[in-house]
Amino acid sequence: MSEEKLLTVREVSILLNVSEKEVMDLAQAGVIPAYKVGGVFLRFKKDQIHDYQKSAHPSLTKTSLHKPTSLQDKISDFFYFYDFYILSGLLILLLLAVIFQG
């Protein structure tokens, strides 16, 4: 029995040529069927994504499916997904500065 490999948010965003945040928003709205693995990680079935891509949701035109991702979108996605780590790192640096000065 071969198991079907589920796609990640990043893989779906590449397939649909939209940002990762848009993929998560589409999944949350129920437009794209999504599955939670371990109760946390979103995964998608490849054939369901291809079906969605063929039917092209009315809010997404053919041109928006093929538009290149801008630098601003990439930076926005970076801070959206890594904000916890950035803030944690800054807090650790601040605490280290206080410890070594005090």
Q: Which residues pair with 44 in a beta bridge?
A: 7
pLDDT for residue 64: 46
The C-alpha angle with vertex 75 and arms to 73 and 81, in degrees rounded to 5, equals 100
What is the mean pLDDT of each successive set of 10 residues along the chain, which is 102 residues long?
78 89 89 84 87 68 55 87 93 96 83
Alpha helices in 30-70 (DSSP H): 46-55, 62-65
Q: What is the pLDDT at residue 41?
A: 73
- Tell me the pairing of strands 35-37 and 41-43: antiparallel
Q: What is the pLDDT of residue 56?
A: 65
Q: What is the pTM of this model?
A: 0.51
Closest CA to 43 of 57, 23, 60: 23
Residue type, 101: Q
